[in-house]
Structure 1
């Protein structure tokens, strides 16, 4: 008996082409050319037709699609072996100068992402995977937040804790503060934020298919504060947060010095690391596997993923883009989307 889910039981995963001046369209063409890519997901690509054609030409791939006129049509398709394509009209080819951050590209990205989130609000989309975007272009194009995650959270009405996860294979990382100046990172530390970040990455890992993840929490100061000699945040904030998490049943250890914590994860002791600020985790995980990493937008009502690398303007249009991270981002979106379809136990 086949284990392939029937069309009705496949999660609807919406894909986007990302920034029109970058490598996103090529990446999506390479992704949808992968054998068996639709086996466990009902895929709908949302984007401008000319840009999708350009992406296929750059990747030297021709992907057969089924046209749809709305996201509402996607779940009811009797045959999901072909990806669906929902054509939009957000940007003209003449507006795009390849390999440059432009307002028109940022505006188009926001329009497509908002369309996908509207579908998620209506229950038509179970997960979203977007190709790389450019924050400068998005801000030129109307983004009013520090990053796309905060835009997603406001658009979807999130009132609880949310944060970015960066993943590399079985290892996921969260951070207590993100896109802020380093001088402000200490002020963002609190017992509550550390607990929220830890609980969120723990439950999200379980939703992605890891049933028994173990979490490690990083220290903030060099050498973990050296008993208070090199900073007291560990004693005053981080250790109490870890103790409270353990008491609530979360399998968590720490704080560990940030310069050794990833060695423990590399050796398989932990599947998740909670860091205290952006580069504390980003440098390590990108060094361990830049071309494979994925960003998961944590704490949202719908799973949203993307490759952790950027638009790679330097190689846009050259047919050189590596699809590994995009494939990994899609597979996480597919698994988390499938988990949302399962009835509660």
Structure 2
């Protein structure tokens, strides 16, 4: 069993109070493996969590506080920081409101502040929706943009990570028709370097092996199906290789993920959203984790949404939340060992 000093302090944001976030947090914190791994600091709402803790198995173990300046490591079983006081009789599960939107944005902003100050070692974010943020009047579309803005980070990327496959996206939420025009040698090089550095400092892989997926069928087939591989992707790979990066490609997208799952690569650099997420979710649909790389703080998240349709029914699967907590703890430990604050 870990000693108290071994366990990283993790801030866990409740996500949208109208979604499954409260339920999967409660379910995760009933697992001894999780509570032995870290000191949880839940950032949320006491009354909403009470509705989720139907067996009253978690909340009695958490010290409830409003004090953001306290030393969270003093609470051996964790604590709950009350950041909102929503009326559980008015807050309808499955239906976001301006109040729930403001609450979930408050949880995120507080988590970032605590991580930047060193009060917590990492933050794990529960599921939110663009709808909730919009109702709250937020100018952000999701966690990544909000956290990057709040931390003043320009050099960041989205990694989907599991035990068998890790993918990093070069472009994310843009129409497929716009992808070729957004790809540049400079941007791909940035993603390659960021991925390599993150695997070293936060995943503890001394010499990461990277693969790069091509954009076109058969990776262009020597120009028969497109020139992006030869003109843009390959020059970025060559530049990275000349600087000592263990990297190969561009590989045909229909084979590279199989080789990565077989253990030949530690991560695959992908050109667009679905290219990476379709194979990733095929392998890690239940236990995948979304982690933002390049931030000055550690942030992991569940790889699913608020699931409004099942909120409050007691059937939400906490697997992704548990894996996000585990990964945040691993990254926190590796970062301390490496002595680097931001993975760069």
Name which of 171, 176, 189 aligns with 2:165: 171
CA 1:257 to 1:124, structure 2 compared with 1: closer, same or farther past 3 Å? same
Pairs within 5 Å for 1:125-204: 125-159=120-154, 161-204=155-198
Q: Does the 8 Å contact 2:168/2:270 carry over to 1? A: yes
Match of 2:240 among 229, 242, 245: 245
Asked whether the equivalents of residues 174 and 273 of structure 1 are also in contact (C-alpha less than 8 Å), the reply is: yes
Structure 1 residue 209 displacement after superposition: 2.9
The TM-score with structure 1 as length reference comes to 0.92
Separation (CA, whole Å) in 1 of partners of 2:253 and 2:69: 46
| TM-score normalised over the length of structure 2 | 0.92
Q: Hey, what does 2:45 align to over in structure 1?
A: 48
Q: Shift in Å at residue 11 of structure 1?
A: 2.2
CA distance in 1, matches of 2:337, 2:258: 35
Contact 1:12 1:74 in 2 (8 A): no
Of 272, 280, 289, which aligns to 1:294?
A: 289
RMSD of the TM alignment (CA)?
Answer: 2.0
Return closer, same or farther for 1:238/1:326 CA change in 2, 3 Å cut-off. same
**1:39, CA displacement in angstroms?**
2.6
Distance in 2, Cα, partners of 1:231 & 1:90: 56
Task: Give the Cα separation in 1 of the matches to 2:198 and 2:314.
Answer: 34
Gap regions ≥5 residues in structure 1: none
Q: Matched residues in 1 for 2:199 and 2:174: separation?
A: 25
Residue in 1 that maps onto 2:251: 256
Give per-residue Cα distances to partners, 1:258-281, cap 9 Å, x unaligned.
122111112111120110011111
Q: How far off is 1:61 after superposition?
A: 4.0
Tell me if structure 2 keeps the 8 A contact 1:129–1:333.
Answer: yes
Secondary structure of residue in 2 paired with 1:149: helix
Q: Distance in 2 between matches of 1:126 and 1:226?
A: 46
Q: Identify if the C-alpha distance between structure 1 residues 76 and 328 changes in structure 2 by more than 3 Å, giving closer, same or farther.
A: closer
Stretch moving more, 93-102 or 328-337: 93-102
**What displacement does 1:296 show?**
0.2
2:199 alignment counterpart: 205
Alignment of 1:217-236 (within 5 A): 217-236=212-231
**Aligned counterpart, 2:82:** 87
Change (3 A) 1:134 1:168: same
Which 5+ residue runs of structure 2 have no aligned equivalent?
A: none
Distance in 2 between residues matched to 1:156 and 1:106, nearest whole Å: 21
